[in-house]
């Protein structure tokens, strides 16, 4: 026998390799091997975590083969690559998703069973990397899944936070934050690549000096240097051989700096320097939709951005692509403004370090970046005080001034004699304390600017970025968000998938528009019965979980009415609470009233410094305490706060929803993606005309969506004419009673002070117009209750929702990005066979 590629092959003996084979037998053998040689344990003393690790390494081996084939192919072809820069990647657990994408979930399930283990228990063992706050970070993760599935060469670049988003506990109804030590049991999915470490400069000052040829140049003399070490995680596509890379940077001290201090006798100083450096990647800022303005946060931004740009340049050098071709080799997508300091950093690298003329460098820069805006909230738009910025990044500030000078010349040319416009558009806000406006910088330095839902993009053009739209209309475009059906259907909802597959096959997993085919079965009573039964089983699972974790009994025949998302006033969880209190008040006034039983489920974290958001969590728990115990309620209403909402938990909860609460003030939620995950799992939405709700309603049909509330225009108009929340309170007795009960201390053991700040917000200025939308919300909820009583009608609506959600796959979003402005092509990856020849 000889090697298979030889022409004189006599007999080919193929032995399934333990690191690549996918059969049950091979998987069992590989698992035992990893338990022994990686974990160093034999089964009798192995912990559940050891078993999890052994399985994770077994799966990782199978990823590595695809990963190396992919890397080799990209490198050989010097393929055009998407670099997705994001301060957050909310990846969620990796094991289950990799099993799905490898197509070996069932084999592994069987292998574990035969070894006397329970795969579901092992999946539960995984500590998820919670390196994001919410929608923005999770979107980045969905996009990586779709990029790999569509075989698009791509790299995700971000920060390897040692502590991700805090774990949430609830004590006496209040949120308590606990450090997220996700790395403490080890992370089997990452590979450190110390050989590709880079250094990043911070602080200090700039000097103008002659170089060795006598030419004057700007030199940046930093007062701190930190080292970035890349940690790589393979990102496998669904049933493809493509495995792309998520590259996260960890900050460490530069040895030479330690030695310097050490040599000078300052041992403690040297150790301190190490701590300061490592602090940069220590913890994720836990803010959602609000800018922090802290020095360390800016350090995090420049840190990962500079590491990533230098990494791209290293890759180009290795692939022998000249630097001038940067925009052909890479398109850099800026996930919000957090990485927008990449624009001056690329300019600095090209001009200062590669001696490129400014114009040429600016040409390259402008063609390389594309910017996604994710918010309309003014408090979330990043701006850095000039003092702070210049202290940390003196050279970048100079570069921004130069960009601004040239940009304002351009504005002056296009709009002569319009000084107010110049003031409005300047990259430097000079209205009071001076700030760098990061969103404006991103607009000037990018060739594309997109919003994340149709309405959001229109509002950007009309309002937040209006001047930039007039300046560069051709840059603006919309890319409606999407979510990956692999994680949020296949992995999280196996019951639904079995039912779907039995009717329409499994093509929908790669082409979500295939779900349309379900419409043919909506009139089939047997199918509707199966659908109903499926939902009931899922709800039973969640009910069991609630019983186990909170000791609350919930009725699975009640409507599961769920609001799960970050806590923020604009998302209006407290409007939902006003509805609960209203129903409760109706029962108190008439205990025999005929109402549709509901279970209200809440999940979500509040930023630790956001007092009102935390008070809303307390309010939910306080109302729950009363409602759940009041004998008059007779179990018709239940209120449950599910603590520590994260990706793992989200996967469990979305499938169980009957009703999805998407009730933000119109014009505030850029898109929302939870709205998509709920509807894809058969929940009906009650929602405002906000973000992607507008498009969901368009797709599923107005008759399958419960719409309420003011439109964006009406919100603006009402604000303009002078909104008086007090008038709504006075006019509507149900609203008045609901608020009075909160204000009087009914839900706070008679203490009227506890919720006073919240009540004052509502009756004072009610920025998010809860009182204006209350009546419409309550009346619509009454229609929801009515509809749920006709369970057959409800099931039809549920089926039609799923059938018509095809648009909201992140595959569609990514295809749109690719075709519209990334201009990047799929690259097919061939798996080289591993064949063992016997001698
Ligand atoms: C957000 C928007 O608020 C969401 O409406 C949107 O769906 C996502 C993704 O585009 O982006 N913007 C934002 O700052 N957050 C969002 O979720 N918050 C964070 O997660 C930090």
Out of 329, 374, 539, 812, the active site residue is: 374
Closest residue by Cα to residue 147 from 89, 92, 82: 82
**In a mutational test of the pocket of ligand 1, which residue from 86, 89, 134 has the highest number of ligand atoms less than 8 Å from its CB?**
134
Q: Using CA positions, which residue lies closest to atom 11 of ligand 1?
A: 136
Closest ligand 1 atom to Cα of 139: 9
Q: Give the separation between CA 771 and CA 678, rounded to whole angstroms.
A: 26
Which phi and psi angles does 231 have, rounded to 5°? -120, 120
Q: Do residues 66 and 242 lie in contact, with contact meaning Cβ atoms separated by under 8 Å?
A: yes
**CA 518–ligand 1 middle distance (angstroms):** 31
What are the tokens at 88? 């957050």
Q: Give the separation between CA 270 and CA 279, rounded to whole angstroms.
A: 14
Q: What is the mean predicted confidence (pLDDT) over 205-231? A: 94
Closest ligand 1 atom to Cα of 90: 20
Topology alike, domains 78-93+128-478 and 485-813: yes
The answer to whether 571 is a known catalytic residue is: yes
What are the tokens at 65? 């083969």
Closest residue by Cα to residue 411 from 427, 399, 394: 427
Q: Do residues 374 and 442 lie in contact, with contact meaning Cβ atoms separated by under 8 Å?
A: no
What is the model's pLDDT at position 581? Answer: 99
Which pLDDT band, with edges at 50, 70 and 90, does 269 fall under?
confident
What is the model's pLDDT at position 12? Answer: 57
What is the model's pLDDT at position 466? Answer: 98
Out of 60, 566, 807, 812, the active site residue is: 566
Q: Do residues 589 and 595 lie in contact, with contact meaning Cβ atoms separated by under 8 Å?
A: no
What is the model's pLDDT at position 288? Answer: 84
* H or E, element range at 412: helix 394-414
130 lines ligand 1 (CB under 6 A): no
- Give 60-69 pLDDT, tens digit per residue: 999 999 999 9
Which phi and psi angles does 296 have, rounded to 5°? -60, -35
**CA 179–ligand 1 middle distance (angstroms):** 23
**CA 566–ligand 1 middle distance (angstroms):** 10
656 lines ligand 1 (CB under 6 A): no
What is the model's pLDDT at position 270? Answer: 75
**In a mutational test of the pocket of ligand 1, which residue from 135, 290, 571 has the highest number of ligand atoms less than 8 Å from its CB?**
135
Q: Give the separation between CA 214 and CA 113, rounded to whole angstroms.
A: 74
**CA 374–ligand 1 middle distance (angstroms):** 6
**CA 140–ligand 1 middle distance (angstroms):** 11
Whether the per-residue pLDDT at 257 is higher than 70: the answer is no
What are the tokens at 24? 């049950």
Q: Do strands 476-478 and 446-451 pair parallel, antiparallel, or not at all (unpaired)?
A: parallel
136 lines ligand 1 (CB under 6 A): yes
**CA 373–ligand 1 middle distance (angstroms):** 9
**In a mutational test of the pocket of ligand 1, which residue from 86, 131, 289, 571 has the highest number of ligand atoms less than 8 Å from its CB?**
289
Whether the per-residue pLDDT at 839 is higher than 90: the answer is no
Whether the per-residue pLDDT at 134 is higher than 70: the answer is yes
What is the model's pLDDT at position 211? Answer: 86
The answer to whether 749 is a known catalytic residue is: no
- Give 789-807 pLDDT, tens digit per residue: 999 999 999 999 999 999 9
669 lines ligand 1 (CB under 6 A): yes
What are the tokens at 266? 């300052």
Q: Give the separation between CA 477 and CA 471, rounded to whole angstroms.
A: 14
Which pLDDT band, with edges at 50, 70 and 90, does 837 fall under?
very low
**In a mutational test of the pocket of ligand 1, which residue from 138, 571, 670 has the highest number of ligand atoms less than 8 Å from its CB?**
670
**CA 721–ligand 1 middle distance (angstroms):** 30
Closest ligand 1 atom to Cα of 137: 20
**In a mutational test of the pocket of ligand 1, which residue from 287, 291, 374 has the highest number of ligand atoms less than 8 Å from its CB?**
374
Q: Give the separation between CA 659 and CA 675, rounded to whole angstroms.
A: 10
- Give 723-760 pLDDT, tens digit per residue: 999 999 999 999 999 999 999 999 999 999 999 999 99
What are the tokens at 1? 């026998």
Out of 565, 638, 643, 741, the active site residue is: 565
- Burial (CB count within 10 angstroms: exposed 0-12, middle 13-18, buried 19+), residue 262: middle
* H or E, element range at 640: strand 637-642
Task: Output DSSP code: residue 487.
Answer: I
What are the tokens at 384? 């850095």
The answer to whether 461 is a known catalytic residue is: no
The answer to whether 565 is a known catalytic residue is: yes
Q: Do residues 348 and 363 lie in contact, with contact meaning Cβ atoms separated by under 8 Å?
A: no
**CA 226–ligand 1 middle distance (angstroms):** 30
What is the model's pLDDT at position 13? Answer: 57
**CA 673–ligand 1 middle distance (angstroms):** 8
Kindly list the distances between the CA atom of residue 548 and the CA atoms of 168, 545, 563, 646, in Å, as whole numbers in the listed order: 18, 5, 21, 18
In 10 A of CB 103, how many CB atoms? Answer: 11
- Give 643-656 pLDDT, tens digit per residue: 999 999 999 999 99
Could you tell me which residue, 658 or 9, shows the higher pLDDT?
Answer: 658
Q: Which residue has 């890379």 as its token pair?
A: 245
380 lines ligand 1 (CB under 6 A): yes
451 lines ligand 1 (CB under 6 A): no
What is the model's pLDDT at position 265? Answer: 76
Homologous superfamily of the 78-93+128-478 domain (CATH)? Glycogen Phosphorylase B; (3.40.50.2000)
- Burial (CB count within 10 angstroms: exposed 0-12, middle 13-18, buried 19+), residue 572: buried
**CA 600–ligand 1 middle distance (angstroms):** 24
Q: Using CA positions, which residue lies closest to atom 21 of ligand 1?
A: 288
**CA 457–ligand 1 middle distance (angstroms):** 14
Out of 80, 618, 677, 697, the active site residue is: 677
Which pLDDT band, with edges at 50, 70 and 90, does 467 fall under?
very high
Q: What is the mean predicted confidence (pLDDT) over 132-144? A: 98
Which pLDDT band, with edges at 50, 70 and 90, does 665 fall under?
very high
562 lines ligand 1 (CB under 6 A): no
**CA 139–ligand 1 middle distance (angstroms):** 8
Q: Give the separation between CA 208 and CA 212, rounded to whole angstroms.
A: 13
483 lines ligand 1 (CB under 6 A): no
691 lines ligand 1 (CB under 6 A): yes
**CA 281–ligand 1 middle distance (angstroms):** 22
The answer to whether 374 is a known catalytic residue is: yes
480 lines ligand 1 (CB under 6 A): no
Q: What is the 3-state secondary structure (H, E, C) of 722-751?
A: CCCHHHHHHHCHHHHHHHHHHHHCCCCCCC
133 lines ligand 1 (CB under 6 A): yes
Q: Using CA positions, which residue lies closest to atom 20 of ligand 1?
A: 134
Q: Give the separation between CA 819 and CA 161, rounded to whole angstroms.
A: 33
Closest ligand 1 atom to Cα of 374: 12
Lowest mean pLDDT segment, chosen from 505-519, 550-564, 613-627, 819-833: 819-833
690 lines ligand 1 (CB under 6 A): no
Whether the per-residue pLDDT at 259 is higher than 60: the answer is no
- Give 366-377 pLDDT, tens digit per residue: 999 999 999 999
- Give 74-95 pLDDT, tens digit per residue: 999 999 999 999 999 999 999 9
String of b and e for 501-510 (b: at least 16 CB within 10 Å)?
eeebeeebbb
Kindly list the distances between the CA atom of residue 223 and the CA atoms of 204, 277, 621, 722, 835, in Å, as whole numbers in the listed order: 5, 12, 49, 52, 55
481 lines ligand 1 (CB under 6 A): yes
134 lines ligand 1 (CB under 6 A): yes
Q: Do residues 775 and 766 lie in contact, with contact meaning Cβ atoms separated by under 8 Å?
A: no
What is the model's pLDDT at position 14? Answer: 57
Residues 6+ apart with CB under 8 A from 797: 684, 703, 704, 787
289 lines ligand 1 (CB under 6 A): yes
Angle at 672 between CA 376 and CA 803, to 5 degrees: 145
**In a mutational test of the pocket of ligand 1, which residue from 91, 136, 488, 572 has the highest number of ligand atoms less than 8 Å from its CB?**
136
Whether the per-residue pLDDT at 173 is higher than 70: the answer is yes
Q: Using CA positions, which residue lies closest to atom 14 of ligand 1?
A: 289
Task: Output DSSP code: residue 186.
Answer: -
135 lines ligand 1 (CB under 6 A): yes
Rg (CA), the chain: 28
Q: Which residue has 């014009």 as its token pair?
A: 667
Whether the per-residue pLDDT at 2 is higher than 70: the answer is no
Whether the per-residue pLDDT at 566 is higher than 50: the answer is yes
- Give 598-614 pLDDT, tens digit per residue: 999 999 999 999 999 99
673 lines ligand 1 (CB under 6 A): yes
- Give 391-406 pLDDT, tens digit per residue: 999 999 999 999 999 9
Q: Where are the domains of the chain?
A: 78-93+128-478, 485-813
Whether the per-residue pLDDT at 420 is higher than 90: the answer is yes
What are the tokens at 19? 């690191």
Which pLDDT band, with edges at 50, 70 and 90, does 169 fall under?
very high
Q: What is the mean predicted confidence (pLDDT) over 471-498? A: 98
- Provide the CATH topology of domain 485-813: Rossmann fold (3.40.50)
**CA 443–ligand 1 middle distance (angstroms):** 19
Q: What is the mean predicted confidence (pLDDT) over 678-702? A: 98
The answer to whether 673 is a known catalytic residue is: yes
What is the model's pLDDT at position 293? Answer: 87
- Give 88-123 pLDDT, tens digit per residue: 999 999 999 999 999 999 999 999 999 999 999 999
Whether the per-residue pLDDT at 304 is higher than 90: the answer is yes
Strand (E) positions, 24-166?
Answer: 81-85, 89-90, 130-131, 154-159
């Amino acid at each position: 026998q000889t090697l298979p590629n030889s022409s004189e092959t006599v007999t080919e003996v193929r032995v399934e390799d333990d690191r690549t084979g996918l059969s049950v037998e091979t998987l069992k053998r590989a698992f035992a091997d990893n338990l022994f040689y990686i974990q160093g344990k034999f089964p009798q003393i192995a912990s559940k975590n050891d078993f999890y690790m052994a399985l994770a390494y077994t799966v990782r081996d199978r990823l590595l083969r695809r990963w190396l084939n992919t890397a080799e192919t990209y490198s050989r072809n010097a393929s055009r690559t998407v670099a997705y820069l994001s301060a957050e990647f909310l990846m969620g657990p990796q094991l289950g998703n990799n099993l799905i994408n490898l197509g070996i979930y069932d084999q592994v399930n069987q292998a574990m069973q035969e070894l006397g283990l329970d795969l579901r228990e092992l999946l539960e063992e995984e500590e998820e990397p919670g390196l994001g706050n919410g929608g923005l970070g999770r979107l980045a993760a969905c996009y990586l899944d779709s990029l790999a599935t569509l075989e698009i060469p791509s790299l995700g670049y971000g920060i390897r936070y040692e502590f991700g988003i805090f774990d949430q506990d609830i004590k006496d109804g209040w949120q308590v934050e606990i450090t997220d030590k996700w790395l403490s049991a080890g992370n089997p999915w990452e590979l450190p690549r110390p050989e590709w470490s880079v250094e990043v400069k911070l602080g200090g000052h700039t000097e103008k000096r002659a170089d060795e040829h006598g030419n004057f140049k700007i030199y940046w003399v930093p007062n701190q240097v930190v080292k970035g070490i890349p940690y790589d995680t393979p990102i496998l596509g669904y049933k493809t051989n493509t495995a792309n890379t998520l590259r996260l940077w960890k900050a460490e001290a530069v040895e030479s700096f330690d030695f310097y201090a050490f040599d000078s006798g300052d041992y403690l100083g040297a150790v301190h320097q190490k701590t300061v450096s490592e602090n940069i990647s220590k913890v994720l800022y836990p803010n959602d939709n609000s800018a922090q303005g802290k020095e360390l946060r800016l350090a995090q931004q420049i840190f990962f951005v500079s590491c990533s740009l230098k990494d791209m340049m290293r890759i180009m050098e290795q692939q022998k692509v000249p630097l001038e071709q940067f925009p052909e080799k890479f398109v850099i997508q800026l996930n919000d403004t957090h990485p927008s300091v990449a624009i001056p950093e690329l300019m600095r690298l090209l001009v200062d370090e590669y001696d490129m003329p400014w114009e040429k460098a600016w040409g390259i820069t402008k063609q390389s970046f594309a910017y996604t805006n994710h918010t309309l909230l003014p408090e979330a738009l990043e701006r850095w005080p000039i003092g702070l910025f210049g202290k940390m990044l003196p050279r970048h500030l100079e570069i921004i001034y130069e960009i601004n000078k040239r940009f304002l010349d351009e504005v002056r040319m296009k709009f002569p004699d319009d000084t107010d416009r110049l003031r409005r558009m300047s990259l430097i806000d000079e209205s009071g304390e001076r700030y760098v406006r990061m969103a404006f910088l991103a607009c000037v330095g990018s060739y594309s600017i997109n919003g994340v839902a149709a309405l959001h993009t229109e509002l950007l053009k009309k309002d937040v970025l209006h001047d930039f739209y007039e300046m560069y209309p051709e840059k603006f475009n919309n890319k409606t968000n999407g979510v990956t059906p692999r994680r949020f259907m296949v992995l999280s909802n196996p019951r639904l998938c079995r039912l779907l597959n039995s009717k329409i096959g499994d093509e929908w997993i790669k082409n979500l528009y295939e779900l349309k085919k379900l419409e043919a079965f909506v009139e089939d009573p047997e199918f509707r019965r199966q659908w109903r039964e499926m939902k009931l089983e899922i709800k039973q699972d969640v009910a069991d979980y609630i019983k186990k974790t909170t000791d609350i009994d919930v009725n699975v025949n009640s409507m599961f009415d769920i609001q799960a998302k970050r806590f923020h006033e604009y998302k209006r969880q407290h409007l939902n609470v006003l509805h609960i209190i209203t129903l409760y008040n109706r029962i108190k006034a008439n205990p025999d009233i005929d109402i549709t039983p509901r279970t209200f489920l809440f999940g979500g974290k509040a930023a630790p410094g956001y007092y009102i958001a935390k008070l809303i969590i307390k309010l939910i728990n306080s109302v729950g305490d009363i409602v759940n115990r009041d004998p008059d309620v007779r179990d018709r209403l239940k209120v449950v706060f599910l603590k520590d909402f994260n990706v793992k938990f989200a996967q469990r909860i979305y499938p169980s929803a009957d009703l999805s609460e998407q009730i933000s003030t119109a014009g505030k939620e850029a898109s929302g993606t939870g709205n998509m995950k709920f509807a894809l799992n058969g929940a009906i939405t009650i929602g405002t005309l906000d973000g992607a709700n507008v498009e969901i309603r368009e797709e599923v049909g107005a008759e399958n969506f419960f719409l309420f509330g003011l439109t964006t225009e009406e919100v603006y108009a009402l604000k303009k004419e002078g909104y008086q929340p007090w008038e709504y309170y006075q006019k509507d007795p149900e609203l008045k009673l609901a608020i009075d009960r909160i204000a009087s201390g009914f839900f706070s053991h008679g203490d009227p002070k506890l919720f006073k700040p919240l009540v004052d917000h509502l009756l004072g200025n009610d920025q998010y117009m809860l009182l204006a939308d209350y009546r419409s919300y309550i009346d619509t909820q009454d229609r929801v209750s009515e509809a749920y009583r006709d369970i057959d009608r409800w099931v039809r609506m549920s089926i039609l929702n799923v059938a018509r959600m095809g648009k909201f796959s992140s595959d569609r979003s990514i295809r749109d990005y690719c075709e519209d402005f990334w201009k990047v092509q799929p690259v097919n990856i061939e798996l080289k066979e591993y064949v063992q020849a016997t001698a």
